[in-house]
Structure 1
Amino acid sequence: MDRLVFGSGSSPASTSNAVEAPVTGAVVQAGAIHGDVHVHGRQAGRLPFRFGVVPPVVDGYQLREVDLAAPVLVLSGMGGVGKTQLAAGIARDAWTSGGIDVLVWVTASSRQSIASDFAWCARQLTGLDDGDPERAAGHFLNWLGDTAANWLVVVDDLRAPGDLNGLWPPPSTSGRVVVTTRRRDAALAGPGRRRVDVEVFTAAESAAFLRARLTDHRGLAVGADRLAEVLGHLPLALAQATAYLVDRRITCDEYLTRFTERHRPLVALSPEPDSLPDQHRGTTAAVWGLSVELADRLQPTGLATPMLRFVSLLSPHAIPIDVFAAPALFAYLEAVVGRPVGAEEPRDALHCLHRLSLITCGPDDSGVRVHTLIQRVTRDEFASDDVGTLARVAADALVWACPRGQSNAPLPRPLRDNIDVLLSHVEETLSRPRFHHILVKKGNDLGYSGYPGAAHGFLARLHGAAARRFGVLHHDTLILGYLSAYWQAQGMRPADAAALLRSTADRLARVQGGTSPFALTARRDIAYHEGRAGHHRRAVALLEDVLPHIRAVFGERSTTALLTMSSLAFWLGEAGRTRAAMSIMRDYFDILEESLGTEHPDVLTARQNLGLLLSDTGDHTAAIALLTGVRDDQTRILGADHPDTLRTRHNLAVTLAHGGDPHGAAREFRALHLDEVRLHGPDHPDSRSVLREAVRWTWAANLASEW
């Protein structure tokens, strides 16, 4: 065997550095070499250098309204919004323009795949062949930091932020990094990094995309705008829908007909796996499966899926955050995971879904948004038993989130929208075996929002169903019949309305007793319509009789008792008993304001009634000031077109007239007439009544030339 001697000096104790043999290898250091030398090593790669496959441009590719100018760009968004296409566009432009010498495209399925791809690039660019992928990846990152060559590294579809720990390309004046991911974690932030949320197409981008995809099939484009809207302008869904309809020679409208058939899952409206367009790796329905699995692994584990199922029945646009604190939701989550659920866990689970771009949590937990197709795919996976359970959980949660103590105030718009969406999916489910209270909430809210006819129609339909299912004397049938009659009465002549409600109240009293809650409220409502009919003393007698019973059944400070006090005060005033009316109204107002605050609709109505009573006592100046304030507050809180606002404007005009200001009365009545005609048409009784007053006071103020 040939002898190798290493050392320094010439004595055995200090041997010389010498090699006495042929040498083969990458590196050798010797003072003297006796034999042949063969040095082999991997040479550094030549530039330009390109690694990985950049996805091709898709048919109908759209330049997006996204600011992509950043040295380290993180493109975040839900699956299917086109993050990879944006990154590919950056890569293609940089490479074809000659702006870079090195292009590396890595598909980040795992940390191991990132490290191994970086290691391969290191071997090609540095000539170093390290057997450990992590160390080899470090050689590549060092090379990026040292080179003067211009480079671009794209890390596509990053599954977890931790997969890039220690593998982020270094800051460089000659390099750029683009990362695409469904994640929104704080860990993606860092010095020099800019995260951009990629959203769905705009309406204009969707239209341009569909025009391009259907250029050779223009006859199929009928309904394209509606298709884009229904699919939520999601690029992936639009691409797969057009592939499906072109393969089957159906129009966009025909596709939508199939889409709206509830028995047909979304996966059945996608191309077959071997027919997916644009090299898609999965159908729209399958794209989010991995995201849900990853969200379920985050803390609190196992809650992401049931939370996503819960939100899939609600509005895609804005789910109030209070809904997620409902006891019914906690009970459902505990039943799913088989353990107690802490107070903070539902909100934490929402943020797990947010981090995976499956939902969007608004700033400061202002609400939750979710794409309509994610909801559709989630609902497609429901078992039949799940639908009934989740429907009731969602309905209970929405009812729980409704403002307490409100009577005739419309629901906040987000809650109303969520109730509408829920009922569009599961109204029939919530009607069996008993009618869920949310159905009553929906009907009454229609009326309180200024649509008594729609409220009557909705509740009458439920009443008919209850009568067929349970019989005419069943509790649900009686209550729905009363509520239907209540809203029907709002559009009737007062005497007819009183007669209708009297028959309803008699039926309730016969079956449930004269002091049952609904029988008492029906008697109170009869008094209102008697008063409208001009029978003021009769209204007062009815209310004085029913008020003690209402206080006993509902409570002294209950909303029902307070409304009855208000009504009694009003009709006392109309009957000429002003002092008694003022006494009751002040007591009522003090209790109401203390309980509900200054901006509650019931408090505003009480202020209006105080103003009218002040006017009746002759203090028109104080009454006008009070009514003007109420009008302005109602306009701000309820809206200019709300019935309460319109009523206050009418009363203000009347008070101005009685207070000796015909000019002000004429202006108020004329402006009110324009709004009544706009809202109800010129032949509506309110429009005609206001017109008569407008004409009267315009002539009285000698303002005819202005009208």
Structure 2
Amino acid sequence: MSRASSPARPAARAPVFMVPFNRDPNFLGRSTTLDAIDERFKTQPAVALAGLGGIGKTQIAIEYAYLYRDRHSDAQVFWVYASDPVRFEESYHHIARRMAFPGWDEPDADSLQLVYDGLSSDEVGKWLFILDNADDESLFHGRRTGASSAPSTKTYARYIPKSQQSSVLITTRDRRVGERLSGRQRPIDVSVMTPAESIELLRSKMVEEDWDEDDAMKLVAELNHLPLAITQAAAFISENCLTVAEYLETLFAGDEDAKELLSEHLEDPRREIDTENSVMRTWKLSFDQISKNAPRAADILSIVAVLDYHSVPVYLLRKEKETETGFRTALGALQAFSLLTATRGKDAVCKTHRLVAMAGQRWLEARGTLNHWQGEAVKLLAAAFPGPGKQKYAEWPLYEAMVPHTTLALGYEFEDADVQLEAARLMVAVSLYHMSRGRYEKALDYCHRSLEIRQSLLPADDVMTIDSIQTLGEALLHCGELNQAAAMLRRAVAGREKTLGAEHPDTMESCSDLTITLLELDDLDAAEVTALRALNGRKGVLGEDDPDTLVSLNIHCMVLHRKGKLEEAGAQYAETLRRREEMIGEEHPDTIITRNNYSRYLYDTGDLEGARTMLDRVLAGEAKVLGSEGYDIQVSLSTSALLQAARGDIAGADQQLRKVLKIREKLLGGTHPSTIFTLQMLADLHSSSSPDVAQRSHRMICEREKKNGGQKASALLRAGLLFD
């Protein structure tokens, strides 16, 4: 490889310009990137352009080649197809022939060595060497990141020529390859077009009479300002005589329609003849490359494709016992291909675009593994989402971050029994969390589905089946389906007694929930029996200070309160509140529930000032922890209105009740018993001070009760009490 032996180009030879594409007369934007290339070449001989497939790297390289020729009329410009060994060596052979390097036409000529030696001579003069689609690390460096992959026989990086007057421009999907080929210099990241550039590109490809500015803005935004996607959309619109609005309608119709649109092949004279010129097929090449060289990265990509692509918590993607280095290397491979971004820190998330996620799904479909990865997503989420008795208030933000992913994953269909059972386990866990946040209807749906799955696949007395019965009972209770709730919870008590034993903590949980249901049904004597059974059972098995024991203590307070045993109830409320504040904190939702009930007790016993002070803390805590429209805050606001009325502030009470009425009409509807109960409170408030208001309220009550069959609001709601 001696440079001294390399022959110089004859002086009379015209400069070689080997760019296989015509210049695009409508090349738009990218001036910042072109300027950056010029600036980099002032200090480094090799510059890499890195970015997502279809982002426009090759188009920029073509434009730069023509600009380079315009500026340097005596310079040589060479183009090398760097996507695979065959194309790479063919390109070198053509260069050796065009440059007439001695020996190029000999049967055993080594074109790689000839071009390296020939162009590395300073006597050749100034030249630009473009390596297009240099994506495969193993092609250039003889190794792959995947442990099972065999090294390639040649390391092509050693044949990239260099001289004092040389400039090498590299385009690559893999930022790491670009960095290595440019001498460890950071690549220029080619990002999506600006909105203005995207609109200009779309307009240049369309007939003016079909143009609509608003629809165009929507389209380029939906296509993430990706040049290939925009060009592909414009071609489809033109070829099929559509308007932009009609194309948008199909794109928004559903993911399957969008996948079909974005899989349409586009003939483009400025891309390689054998290159897939559609968004889906272009990215398939990236996915295949990653699968070959970085199998763990491909696994992460597969999971992200079937989860909610907007924001996937990084901790969900980590395998148990996986090393930090191995995980970060795999994640780095995907970021190097610009397929996703990852934030840092405790709450780190991965994000990708809808188009990438859809392309990933299409890729998995083609490989026959889509349903497998959907099942893996369910298993992953089921393992990460704590089930009954394990959810903690402090971890609510973690659970909330998983909710979009559980919603998506639980919408998939599976034939495999093991995956169905994992889905049922996840449904129970998610429904419990939804109930803690007041999303009772969502919880109820998951509970029904979970029980259906487990009853079809497991024995009736299986612990998992009974768990689903128990959780469904809780959901029915929260939704006001009290008779059904009682039936389910009695089944849960009986099933757990038989399977687990009469004193098992899970049996006591079922007794506790049955107590609440009996209170709602106004069966106070039966409620007292089950309340004491749960309380004494938990004290004996779990101890006085266990959180579940305090749940039963709080429920027993409510029973005493409802039965009129006020002195005993007051002492027990005070004790329960003190212990909860000490053990789980003053702002924990369970503590706030006890504080609400205690404030209601104080109101019922005539201590208006004490009730007011305590209720102010309740309202502040509920707004902070549960939001401004939850069930708990509706109850507390109603009690607040009673307090204001008792102190003569009719206007303030009216304002509070109307706030509650607005929330209930919005969330429950106008004929729901809880909504009608609020109307009744308004009527009672104005019965003496504003008879006309009271009369109107009564008329509305009568009309709405006719529609709902005269159902009453729940007993605990009427009493202003909350349960946990």
TM normalised by structure 2 equals: 0.66
Superposition map of 1:280-291 within 5 A = 281-282=275-276, 284=279, 287-288=282-283, 291=286
Moved more, 314-323 or 612-621: 612-621
**By how many angstroms is 1:422 displaced?**
2.0
After superposing the two structures, state which structure 1 stretch, 455-464 or 496-505, moved more: 496-505
Q: 1:620-667 CA distances to partner (integer Å, 9 max, x unpaired)?
A: 556545544543454344433333444444444444445664443333
Corresponding residue for residue 364 of structure 2: 379
- SS of 2:662's equivalent? helix
Q: Which amino acid aligns with 2:487?
A: L
Q: How many Å separate the matches in 2 of 1:402 and 1:384?
A: 30
Once the two structures are superposed, the pairs formed by residues 2-401 of structure 1 within 5 Å of their partners are 42-43=10-11, 50-54=17-21, 70=36, 71-72=39-40, 75-85=49-59, 88=62, 104=77, 106-107=79-80, 109=82, 133=115, 156-159=132-135, 180-185=171-176, 187=179, 195-196=188-189, 198-199=191-192, 209=202, 236=228, 260=256, 270=263, 279=273, 281-282=275-276, 284=279, 287-288=282-283, 291-292=286-287, 295=290, 302-325=295-318, 327=320, 330=321, 341-364=322-345, 366-370=348-352, 371-380=356-365, 381-383=367-369, 386-387=372-373, 390-391=376-377, 393-399=379-385
Aligned pairs (5 A) from 1:417-432: 417-426=404-413, 429=416
Cα gap change, 1:653 to 1:120, in 2 (>3 Å): farther
SS in 2 for 1:564: helix
Specify whether residues 260 and 323 from structure 1 end up closer, same or farther in structure 2 by C-alpha distance, changes over 3 A only.
same
Instruction: Give the letter for the 2:172 counterpart.
Output: T
State whether residues 263 and 281 of structure 2, in contact with CA within 8 Å, keep that contact through their aligned partners in structure 1: no
Note the C-alpha offset of 1:543.
1.8
Aligned length: 631
Aligned sequence identity (%): 18
Contact 1:239 1:277 in 2 (8 A): no
Deviation at 1:290, TM superposition (A): 5.3
Residue ranges of structure 2 left out of the alignment (5+ in a row)? 41-46, 105-111, 142-155, 697-724
Alignment RMSD: 5.9
Q: Among 572, 579, 589, which residue is 2:581 paired with?
A: 589
- Could you say which residue in structure 2 is the equivalent of 1:414? 401
Q: Which residue of 1 aligns with 2:629?
A: 641
Q: 1:384 to 1:311 in 2, by over 3 A?
A: closer
Report the Cα distance in structure 1 between the residues aligned to 2:9 and 2:504, rounded to whole angstroms.
Answer: 96
Contact 2:463–2:496 under 8 Å retained in 1 = no
CA distance in structure 2 between the partners assigned to 1:422 and 1:266 by the alignment: 20
CA shift for structure 1 position 420:
1.8
Return the offset for 1:367.
0.5
Q: C-alpha separation between the residues in 2 aligned to 1:504 and 1:455? A: 19
Shift of 1:610: 5.2
CA contact (8 A) 1:240 1:271 kept: yes
Is the Cα–Cα contact under 8 Å of residues 515 and 549 in structure 1 kept in the other structure? yes
| Matched residue type, 2:384 | L
- Mapped to 2, the partners of 1:518 and 1:237 lie a distance apart of 55
Distance in structure 2 (CA, Å) of the matches to 1:195 and 1:612: 65
Q: Quote the offset at 1:607 in angstroms.
A: 4.8
* Correspondence 1:489-504 to 2 at 5 A: 489-492=477-480, 496=483, 499-501=486-488, 503-504=490-491
Offset, 1:546: 0.8
Relative to structure 1, the CA distance from residue 108 to residue 702 in structure 2 (aligned partners, 3 Å threshold; closer, same or farther) is farther
The answer as to whether partners of 1:115 and 1:167 remain within 8 angstroms in 2 is no
Q: Pick from 531, 546, 549 the counterpart of residue 534 of structure 2.
A: 546
Deviations 1:576-595 (A, max 9, x none): 221122112221232122xx
Q: 1:294, 1:699 → 2: CA distance?
A: 76
Report if the CA contact (8 A) 1:582-1:613 is conserved.
no
8 A Cα contact 2:375 2:419, kept in partner: no
Change (3 A) 1:348 1:689: farther
Identify if the C-alpha distance between structure 1 residues 195 and 409 changes in structure 2 by more than 3 Å, giving closer, same or farther. Answer: same
Secondary structure, counterpart of 2:331 in structure 1 = helix
| C-alpha deviation, 1:483, in angstroms | 2.4
Letter in 1 for 2:308: S
Decide whether the 8 Å contact of 2:421 with 2:453 is kept in 1: no
Following superposition of structure 1 onto structure 2, how do residues 299-698 of structure 1 map, counting pairs within 5 Å?
Answer: 302-325=295-318, 327=320, 330=321, 341-364=322-345, 366-370=348-352, 371-380=356-365, 381-383=367-369, 386-387=372-373, 390-391=376-377, 393-399=379-385, 404-406=390-392, 412-426=399-413, 429=416, 434-436=421-423, 437-470=425-458, 472-492=460-480, 496=483, 499-501=486-488, 503-505=490-492, 507-508=494-495, 511-512=498-499, 513-534=501-522, 539-551=527-539, 559-574=547-562, 575=564, 576=566, 577-593=569-585, 600-609=588-597, 611-612=599-600, 620-621=608-609, 623-658=611-646, 661-694=649-682, 697=685
The Cα offsets for residues 601-629 of structure 1, whole Å up to 9 and x where unpaired, read as: 44544554455456567665565455445
Give deviations 1:239-290, integer Å, cap 9, x for gaps. Answer: 66887999999996889999749xxx97999458999996561365554455
Contact 1:84 1:156 in 2 (8 A): yes
Pick 1 or 2: higher relative contact order, CA cutoff 8 A, min separation 6: 2
Q: Do the aligned residues in 2 keep the contact of 1:509 with 1:515 (CA within 8 Å)?
A: no
CA shift in 2, pair 1:182/1:384, >3 Å: closer
Q: Distance in 2 between matches of 1:208 and 1:635?
A: 49
Cα distance change on mapping 1:40 and 1:578 into 2, 3 Å:
closer
Q: Provide closer, same or farther for how the CA distance between residues 620 and 243 of structure 1 changes in structure 2, counting only shifts above 3 A.
A: same
Which amino acid in the other structure matches residue 296 of structure 2?
L
For the residues of structure 2 that align with 1:208 and 1:366, how far apart are their CA atoms? Answer: 35
Taking structure 1 as reference, are residues 433 and 205 closer, same or farther at Cα in structure 2, changes over 3 Å only?
Answer: same
Q: Distance in 2 between matches of 1:630 and 1:677?
A: 23
Provide the C-alpha distance between the structure 1 equivalents of 2:306 and 2:421, rounded to a whole number of angstroms: 20
AA aligned opposite 1:53? P
How far did residue 91 of structure 1 move?
6.4
| Amino acid across the alignment from 2:314 | I
Displacement of 1:544 after TM fit? 2.3
Q: Is the 8 A contact 1:119 1:133 kept in 2?
A: no
Q: Indicate conservation of the 8 Å contact 1:453/1:491, yes or no.
A: yes
CA distance in 2, matches of 1:701, 1:103: 96
Counterpart residue type for residue 80 of structure 1: G
Deviation at 1:675, TM superposition (A): 2.8
Residues 138-191 of structure 1 show CA distances to partners (whole Å, capped at 9, x for unaligned) of 6679966xxxxxx9986643436999999899999xx99976432345948999
- Cα distance in 2, alignment partners of residues 600 and 67 from structure 1: 53
- Determine the C-alpha separation between the residues in 2 that align with 1:419 and 1:110: 39
Q: Which amino acid aligns with 2:316?
A: V
- How much does 1:521 deviate? 2.2
Measured against aligned partners, the alpha-carbon deviations of 1:455-474 in whole angstroms (never above 9, x if no partner) come to 32332244334434446555
Offset at 1:418?
Answer: 1.2
Contact 1:312-1:376 at 8 Å conserved across structures: yes
Q: Deviations over 1:659-692 (max 9, x none)?
A: 6644433332223322332333333333333344
Structure 1: unaligned runs, 5 residues or longer: 1-25, 28-38, 145-150, 331-340
Q: Residue type of the partner of 1:581? A: Y
Q: Is the alpha carbon distance of 1:108 and 1:611 closer, same or farther for their aligned partners in structure 2, counting shifts above 3 Å?
A: farther
